[in-house]
Structures are given as structure tokens and as C-alpha cells.
Amino acid sequence: MKPPRENIYFVDGLPVPETPQPGEKPAPWRQTRVIGKARPRVDAYERVSGTAVYPSDVILPKMLYGAILRCPHPHAKVRRVDLTAATRLPGVHAAISGDSLKVNPEWEYRTFGGPTVKSLLFDPHCRHEGEVVAAVAAETPYLARDALAGIQVDYDVLPFVTDEQQALAPDAPVIHGDSNRVGPPQVYQRGDVAKGFGEADVVLTETYHTACELHTPMELHGCVAEWDGDRLTIWESTQGVFAVQSGVAKALGLPLSKVRIIGRYMGGGFGSKLVAGKYTVIAAILARQIGRPVKLVLSREETYLAVGNRPPNHMALKAGVKKDGRLTALDFTGTGSGGAYPAGGTSLLDWQVRDLYTCPNVRCETTDVYIHAGPARPFRAPGHPQGSWALEQMMDALAHAIKMDPVQLRLKNIPAFSQARDGQPPYTTTGFAACLQEGAKAFDWQQARLKPARGKADEVWLRGVGMAGASWFLGAGFGPATVVLRVFADGSVNLNMGAADIGTGTKTVMAMVVAEELGIKSDMIQIEHADTGSTQFSGPSGGSKTVPTDAPAARAAAVAVKRQLLAMAAVQLEEKAKRLTIRDGRIHSTGASDKAVGIAELKELKRQGVIVGVGQKGPRPEGKVVVPFAAQFCEVAVNRHTGELKIVRFLGANDSGRVMSRLTYDNQVYGGITMGIGFGTTEKRYLDHGQTGKLVNRNWHDYKLPTALDVPVDMTSLPIEMPDDQANIVGAKGLGEPVTIPTAAAIANAVFHATGIRVTTTPINPVQLSRLLAQHRKKE
Amino acid sequence: MADEHETNDRKGVTRRQFMTRVGVGAVAATVVGGPPAGRAEAAQVMRPGEMAKITLWINTRRHRLLVAPRWSLLYVIRERLGLTATKVGCERGECGACTVLVDDRPIYACMLLAVEAENKKITTLEGLMQGEQIGPVQDAFIQHDAFQCGYCTCGQIMAAEGLLRKNPRPADEAIPLAVSGNLCRCGAYPQIFKAVRAAADKRGDQ
Ligand code: FES
Ligand code: FES
């Protein structure tokens, strides 16, 4: 066995419990009665009625409000923290700093395949604006903020570097060790790129830049912590309760069993809520010290500084193509920064270049550097939208250069196997060609391209269409996951799983799986989830893992209870179990006889009171790899005077295997496109590199998210439904990430079609576009 | 009717769980009705640290409260009264998560001080419910899956409700505009538009 390898979301190569055992694999569903249908979510009522209690909604008796004092400088050392004035304020119950604590817990930053850097919860060496310096708890959030203002801190303000392109300059201040390189450059190579470029008819080179993007989920990062003796309960807005449990237990030196994390509802994370926050541990420390529960919810400004981002990246791509459309070579270099700690500044940045298209000669080199800025966290498809921004614009430019339809060019280079993985395993299924072809057809791509791209000189709005393709690195799910089902005497079911529902419809999908397999109504199913105290282990919901990991576990659990139910019915009906089937809550004979019994009428079930079935994640297919694919098409209009960009319509075609729940599927597609519109056209973190090194746009006024007026009303989701029975026992691949990867590049390609201008830097906002249009006019 | 063992009908659904333990201070909610017609009298002068005695009319109930003058309406609704359908996203008037109706108009509750909201008619999402029964806009949000994480949803519903109270038959273009002050990071906008359209059409039919 290969040694375990730290992956972006999980540890690869570690055996985890799996079901079903070989030979017990249930047959793939054929005609489904529930799966794939458009059904409202099982928790829709709670979410629209306001009865869903999100962690930030929790109010406990005697609860206090915590707040954190953060370093205002990008680089400084804390010399002294004076808490005296703060603690004297009425209504303030505690003020803490690194020095005031008996133990200042260790805090670790790790990157995947990179170094580990040890720091402290309150680290006196502040390496980015927003590092934690002190914290308080008071009767109201207002008083807590007053208390922060009363804390005196002496800083030694130190020189900083916040521009990743300056970080390797000889005079740049060094963040860790003796160089701002996080590690040696990562090099990937196959074939011989020099030879490949020699064989090409056209070779193009371009540089691309993507701005740092911030997650800013609607619910702020935060928690409520309460102690009961030595037992700690935390309501946390998180994608993974078990990940938070282990982070908190480690920081506080507690056994896992003493730390209970509850996160039944959560208001979005997108990768920024996969782990415990420093604020979580601080809330627990404050609550312990005072002996009262503490709610600690960050301010919006704090979330801009300290809870993750998508790293800024700079990329150069050289590509060679033959006249017939075959790629001959790709040479990619990329840099980026995950901020002041190892955080994957270039994680998976080159993956699309390495693996999306057939190309015999590929070289990729990536360099991750430190800067004095908040550390990155995985952000929906880490590295992929950035790499796609480069590769998919390059494909468009190549198509233009050889006068080929961009869809055709892509179709000429569809791989049947993963070229960049060890052993080049085949894909279990690939719907990439179908995404491109059927997407183009549904979009009416050929016709749309023919319409006059550049209008007459007096036309204000220039119209264009563009498209891009994508794959996502992790389609199979990962990590352990256990689901326990209990069938009660009346035939109703309790579904117990640790996975969070981050808005993707996890609960709905799992209930549909159980309803399908057991032939019962989903309102007979009660779900317990996302609570380390009462539900089964599952890894955090990230990396599009939940459906391909936890849904097979749910089906396996349903199969396990079904076997028991059928065995009971077989005895009662004096019929062979394999001749029995469950439908509408009744067990029927499929043979000639019309024997039937309701689940609630099973004598043995009544006697036992309950039966239990356990399911675990399924094994990965041997020698094959599971990869979801996507293609997106869009139409834009550009105001030739102001540079305003209107996105007129969008179509997303996805091969993510089986469609589990049609409403939540389409919702993911639209949501992914919307987020991609933000990445491509509105979002950028500005750091004041030259003067203060501080974050300039730390709110939604200055950092723009797409609003209702920035997305097209005309959006289409086109599922390319091909159940992937080799992937797992539900036939589904991940969806949440591929839906956002190609969006920005598709928009850029449409802008090129409209204007003849290739915009290589995100975001394509009016500021940039009006400047480029003016330059373009001069040239013409 | 092969797949009819699932019903979509969520009307009449009862609230299945409610786990906030509300631990708020003294609140008298004795009178049901609306605010008096007249406006508040001349402003009082207050000393530092002093609490103001105010009356808020929320969801037709009268709440007599002691508040600090700097407390926002959002803070009072959410943290003091435990009406947590009004969410918090930014506390600076940028996201709309805190949208409530003040005299039937959508307002960011974080941008109004509680003392400024005296004697105005305040409606939160809870006020759209008839007991456990949801209102038509809420029902349309369910049918059209107009949310993902659901955190912006209460605010979106209030913005839509505000639109429909003012303009029961909105043109299609009016809908995105009406919710453009409400961010949805999950990006459920197209379904929100559809839900608001459906709710408007349904009301129009009645
Ligand atoms: S919390 Fe009021 S607008 Fe964001
Ligand atoms: S549903 Fe998550 S922010 Fe709108």
C-alpha cells in the first residue's frame, strides 16, 4: 500500500470502513419512483418559516457575547496587552489575551503536501491584519465592543509584503524561515513539451491573473459555547461537526467525547467552514472562565480578514495545436499565495491543464508563496476556476487562431482516461463530449455565434457568446461516512448521519435514497444529523463529497434494514424472502400469490420494537477514477462606451452521474454559475500594498457580490444524466464544484466574441473593460 | 400514480421542532393590535448609560421594552425578543438578511435604532405566519426551491412581501429590483424570481 497522502480535503490511502462487502452490492436502480424527481426539500418548511435554528440564532439563558480584538497591522509583534480598563467596564465579564491564559493553545497550519507551521491561539507575532490579539465577553455585543476599545496594546510594527508578486523580491520581508516560498516549486511533466511545440501549427502564449476572492457566506462565522461541568457543547456554523470537534478537543486538550458540536443548520460556507475557528476555541475558553455560555459571532469585517479566501493567482500558459485541432503541448507556470501560513496558494491550480484535454506533452510548474495576509481556505473547487480562467481562454484563442468552432476544438481533445493520475486510469464514465454537444444544441450555439458579433459602429451594446468546459478533481467522494437507519414498529424511520446540509440538499437527497430503497414516503423519515453527540461520523461536506459518499452509505443502511424486514415478512407470509418487495409501506409477494403485509403489521418488528441497519461509504472502483464534467455557455452584452457588462443568458450542462434530486440539482447549477459570475466579473480583494498593507474593501459595499440584478433571468440547467454504476451504489458523482469552474472563462470568451478584447485579469468590471475598450479604439 | 406516495403539499404542516431556548429579559406582550395613530412626542434628553423605555409594535403585539439608545432594531428583535427569523449578515445595510417591514415597507432592521422604531408597525417573518401555517410567499419559496442554505431566505421573503403589499401585480422586471437589496451568496436568484412571480400570480387570482 502506498503511504497515506494528505489531500486537499482528506487523507488519501488510509483504509476506512466500507459497505457493502464484495458480493453484496445491490443492483443499480432502474426505474426510480422518488430519486431524480423534483420534490421540495424535506426541511423547506423550517427554512422558510424561520423555525430553523441556525447556530447564530441560538440564545441560551445567561448567555454572554464574545468579541475578538484583532491586529490592525499586516505585520507586528505584540509587546504588551493591558486588559485592565476593559475588565473594569460594567457588564464586562472577562478579557483574555495570550499572557492572561494559563495555556495559550498551539495552533497549526498545514498545507496539502507542504509544510506544517506551528503558531499559537494568541500568537504575539502577528503575520497578517486580523490576527487574534485579545478577546472579551460581556452582557451585550455593544458592551463587548466597548471593552475591545478599552484594551491597550503596544505593537512593534514590522515591515510587510502583501503583494504575492513582490514576495520573492530579494528585499521582501520574510514571513517564515528564510524564504517566502512555501516549498520547492511543484513540477509535473509528461511527454516532451519542446517536441510538442515543434509539431504544432499554431503556438500561443498568454499570461492570466485571477484576483483573490472571499467566501463571505451569508451566515457569519460563529458559535455558541456552553459548559456543563467538564462537558463542552458548541453550536457552530460549520460544514463538518466532527472536524470542528477534533480541532476544539485538540486545542483544549479534551477527549473527543467531552466535546459536542451541533450544526444542524448553517448559512453557507463554500469551504470556509470546514474546520474549527480560533473564535470557536476562544468562545469555549471565555465560557469556561466565566461559567456562562458565550456567543461569539464574527463581524462581517472580521470574516474578510481571517476566515479564508481563494488565493490570488498569476499564470502563464503556452499552448500548441495542430490545424486539425489536436493539442500538441501545454506549458503552464503558476504562482499564488495562500497568505501568511501554508494554505494551498497554488493547490490544484494546474489540474485543468494537466487533465481536462488530451495532450501528450504537458509541463506544469507552480510556486506557492507567503504574504502578510489572511490565510486561504479551500474555496469551492480549489484552484480550478483559476486554472480554467487560463486554459479555457487559451482554448478559445487557439480555436480562433485555427478558425475552428471552440466546441469542435474541445471535442477533438476528449480523453477517455485521466492522463495526469498515476497509472492513467480510465474514467468510470465521461459525459464531457455530451455536455459539450448537448449543451451547444440546447443553447443554439451555432446560430448564436453567427449573429453579428460586433454590431454596427453606432450600436451601444456589443453582443457575444462564449463557452468553456471543466472537470472536477474529486468526483468519487472520500473519507469515512456511516449512516444508521432505525425502523420503528409503525414502519417509520429514523435516519441518523453526521453530514451537514450546507444548502446543497443533503437531508433531502438522503431521505429520497431511503424512501426509494424502502418504498416508503419521505415524510415517514425523521432525520438526525450534524451532531457529534448523537449522530454517526462523517467528514466535512466539502469537495462535492456528500452525495457520492453519504448517499451510498444511506442506501447501504436501507438495504440492511430491508433485508431484515423481508426476512420477517417471509416468515409471517410463508413466502421466500427473495420473492418479496416493498412498496408504499407494504411488503408484497412478486410471485403468483397475492400475499402482502404492511411493515407496521410485522409481528416480529412489533416484538423487537425497532430494527437497525448500518451503512458505510462504498469502496472506490478498482483501477478507475470517478470524475464529473461540465460545459457552460453564455451570452453577454457589453456597453462599448461604459464597459458595462450584462450577462444575458447562461446554460450549464453537467455530467455528475445520476440526478438524485432535480430541484436541488438545478439549484446547485444556478448557484455555481452565480458564484462564477462573481469570480469573473465583480469580486476582488484589494490590499493596500504600497502604504499600509491593510485590506481596503472589507465589506459588501466595496467588495461586490452578484446581486439579483447581476445574474441573467434566463438560466438553464441541462443534466446529462448517465448513472455511474461503477462509481458507487447510487450512481451519482459530485456536483457542487464543477458547476462553478468554467463560468468565468465562459464569460471572458463571450466578451472576446463581443469586443475582440481578451480580458486576462479578473474581474471583468466596467473599470477594466472601459479602459480596455478605449485602448482598443485607439488601435483600430 | 407510481410516485404519488410522496406529496408536495406542505400546507398544514406543523412545526416539527423548535429548539431555541429563549432567555430574554422582562418583556410584556399583553396587548394585541396596532400602534396608535399619533406619532411619538418630543425627543427626551438622556444621560449616558440610561435606558430608554419604548414601545414596539411587532407582528401586531405590543412590546414594552427598556433599551439602550444605541441598540439597533435588529439586535432587539433577534437577541432580546428571540425572533430569530430576522437574520444578521453585515449590520451595515449591505445584505438584507435583516429585512423587516416597517409600516409595510421593507427596511434593513440593522439600519434603524430600536428607539426610532417606536410606534411604527413592524412585521417580521414570524408575522407572516398564522400559527404554524405559512403564508403564500413562503409557500411559493418552498415549491420553487428558492433557497439553498436558507440564511438569506427570511429577508428575501420579507422583501418580496413588501413588494406585493405595495404592488400586488408586479411586472416581471420589478421582481429582481425588489430583491436586489438582498444578497444570496448561494445564488438562488432565478428560483427566487420564480417564487415571487408565483406568489404574486396566486394572490392576483384570489
Ligand atoms: S444585516 Fe442588515 S443589511 Fe446586512
Ligand atoms: S440561500 Fe444561502 S444565502 Fe441565500
Model ipTM? 0.96
CATH of A44-54+477-616, one of 3.40.350.10, 2.40.340.10, 3.90.70.10, 3.30.365.10: 3.30.365.10
What are the grid coordinates assigned to A264, written together?
444542524
The number of angstroms, rounded, from the C-alpha of A98 to the middle of its chain's C-alpha atoms is 33
Specify the CATH number of the domain A309-475+623-779.
3.30.365.10
Q: Which string of b and e fits A554-568 if b means at least 16 CB within 10 Å? A: bbbbbbbbbebbbeb
Tell me if chain A has a CB within 8 Å of the CB of B30: no
The answer for residues whose C-beta is within 8 angstroms of residue A308's C-beta and 6 or more apart is: A214, A215, A271, A272, A343, A374, A375, A376, A377, A378, A379
pLDDT of residue A457: 61
pLDDT over 80 at A186, yes or no: yes
Its sign, for the CA torsion A410, A416, A421, A423, is negative
pLDDT over 50 at B29, yes or no: no
Rounded-to-integer distance, Cα A736 and Cα A739, Å: 6
pLDDT of residue A19: 74
Residue of chain B nearest A526, judged by CA positions: B16
pLDDT of residue B30: 41
Choice among A108-122, A238-252, A541-555, A745-759 with the minimum mean pLDDT: A108-122
Choice among A240-254, A384-398, A441-455 with the minimum mean pLDDT: A441-455
pLDDT over 90 at A522, yes or no: no
pLDDT of residue A15: 77
pLDDT interval class at B5 (50, 70, 90): very low
Average pLDDT of chain A to the nearest whole number = 95
Most confident among A325-334, A449-458, B19-28 (mean pLDDT) = A325-334
Which tens digits make up the pLDDT trace of A490-518? 999 999 999 999 999 999 999 999 999 99
pLDDT interval class at B133 (50, 70, 90): very high
- Rounded to an integer, the average pLDDT of A283-307 is 98
What type of residue sits at position B115? V
pLDDT over 60 at A23, yes or no: no
Which tens digits make up the pLDDT trace of A364-378? 999 999 999 999 999
CA of A264 to the centre of ligand 1 (A): 23
What type of residue sits at position B119? N
Neighbouring-strand partners of residue A586? A583, A598
pLDDT interval class at A618 (50, 70, 90): confident
pTM reported for the whole predicted model: 0.94
pLDDT of residue A17: 77
From B93's Cα to the closest Cα of chain A, the distance in A is 9
Nearest CA to A372 out of A701, A679, A71, A703 is that of: A71
Record: contact A59-B79, CB cut-off 8 A: yes
pLDDT over 80 at B22, yes or no: no
pLDDT over 80 at A761, yes or no: yes
Query: Do A562 and A541 form a contact (C-beta atoms < 8 A)?
Result: no
pLDDT over 70 at B25, yes or no: no
What are the grid coordinates assigned to A753, written together?
466574441
pLDDT over 90 at A399, yes or no: yes
Query: Do A643 and A669 form a contact (C-beta atoms < 8 A)?
Result: no
pLDDT over 60 at B10, yes or no: no
Which tens digits make up the pLDDT trace of A574-605? 999 999 999 999 999 987 778 999 999 999 99
pLDDT over 60 at A1, yes or no: no
pLDDT of residue A478: 87
Which numbered ligand comes closest to the C-alpha of B77? Answer: 1
Q: How many CB atoms lie within 10 A of CB A255?
A: 8
pLDDT over 60 at A68, yes or no: yes
CA of B99 to the centre of ligand 1 (A): 7
Helical axes A743-755 vs A662-677, angle rounded to 10°: 50
What are the grid coordinates assigned to A730, written together?
447510487
- Rounded to an integer, the average pLDDT of A547-569 is 96
Beta strands A294-297 and A64-70 are parallel
pLDDT interval class at B18 (50, 70, 90): very low
Record: contact A50-B142, CB cut-off 8 A: no
Record: contact A219-B151, CB cut-off 8 A: yes
pLDDT over 60 at B14, yes or no: no
Q: Which residues line ligand 2 (CB under 6 A)?
A: A 218, 268, 503; B 147-153, 184-186, 188
Listed by start position, the domains of chain A span 44-54+477-616, 309-475+623-779
pLDDT interval class at A141 (50, 70, 90): very high
Q: What percent of chain A has pLDDT over 90?
A: 91
The answer for residues whose C-beta is within 8 angstroms of residue B149's C-beta and 6 or more apart is: A217, A218, A219, A265, A266, A267, A268, A502, A503, B185, B186
Q: Which helix (H) or strand (E) holds A635?
A: strand A629-639
pLDDT of residue A594: 86
- Rounded to an integer, the average pLDDT of A345-349 is 96
Query: Do B86 and B74 form a contact (C-beta atoms < 8 A)?
Result: yes
pLDDT of residue B6: 37
Q: Can you tell me whether residue A37 is helix, strand or coil? A: coil
Record: contact A670-B185, CB cut-off 8 A: no
Query: Do A371 and A127 form a contact (C-beta atoms < 8 A)?
Result: no
Contacts 24+ apart (CB under 8 A), B49-53: B49/A90, B52/B115
Q: What percent of chain B has pLDDT over 90?
A: 74
Its sign, for the CA torsion B105, B110, B116, B119, is positive
Nearest to A701 among B22, B94, B182 (CB): B94
The number of angstroms, rounded, from the C-alpha of A697 to the middle of its chain's C-alpha atoms is 23
pLDDT interval class at A5 (50, 70, 90): low
Query: Do A611 and A484 form a contact (C-beta atoms < 8 A)?
Result: no
CA of B187, closest atom in ligand 2: 4
From A196's Cα to the closest Cα of chain B, the distance in A is 42
CA of B147 to the centre of ligand 2 (A): 6
Contacts of B6 in chain A (CB under 8 A): 34, 37, 39, 515, 521-522
Query: Is A309-475+623-779 the same fold as A44-54+477-616?
Result: yes
Q: Name residues 82-101 of chain B within 8 A of A (Cβ).
A: 82-85, 87-92, 94-95, 97
The number of angstroms, rounded, from the C-alpha of A594 to the middle of its chain's C-alpha atoms is 50
pLDDT over 70 at B43, yes or no: no
- Rounded to an integer, the average pLDDT of B62-71 is 96
pLDDT over 70 at A454, yes or no: no
User: Nearest C-alpha to atom 3 of ligand 2 is from which residue?
Assistant: B184
Nearest to A40 among B10, B180, B186 (CB): B10
Q: Can you tell me whether residue B165 is helix, strand or coil? A: helix
- Rounded to an integer, the average pLDDT of A419-430 is 97
Rounded-to-integer distance, Cα A244 and Cα A540, Å: 9
Rounded-to-integer distance, Cα A501 and Cα A266, Å: 8
Which numbered ligand comes closest to the C-alpha of B195? Answer: 2
Record: contact A141-B75, CB cut-off 8 A: yes
Which tens digits make up the pLDDT trace of A666-704? 999 999 999 999 999 999 999 999 999 999 999 999 999
Q: How many CB atoms lie within 10 A of CB A149?
A: 10
- Rounded to an integer, the average pLDDT of A190-203 is 98
Q: Which residues line ligand 1 (CB under 6 A)?
A: B 88-91, 93-98, 108, 110
Rounded-to-integer distance, Cα A462 and Cα A780, Å: 16
Which tens digits make up the pLDDT trace of B112-125? 999 999 999 999 99
Record: contact B148-A705, CB cut-off 8 A: no
From B37's Cα to the closest Cα of chain A, the distance in A is 30
CA of A341 to the centre of ligand 1 (A): 31
Nearest CA to A699 out of A298, A216, A131 is that of: A216
- Rounded to an integer, the average pLDDT of B35-45 is 61
From B7's Cα to the closest Cα of chain A, the distance in A is 8
Nearest to B151 among A61, A140, A218 (CB): A218
Higher pLDDT, A23 or A240: A240
Place of cell 421594552: B65
Neighbouring-strand partners of residue A651? A633, A716
Nearest to B125 among A50, A53, A56 (CB): A50
pLDDT over 90 at A222, yes or no: yes
Choice among A222-231, A237-246, A610-619 with the minimum mean pLDDT: A610-619
User: Nearest C-alpha to atom 3 of ligand 1 is from which residue?
Assistant: B93
Nearest to B153 among A33, A47, A297 (CB): A47
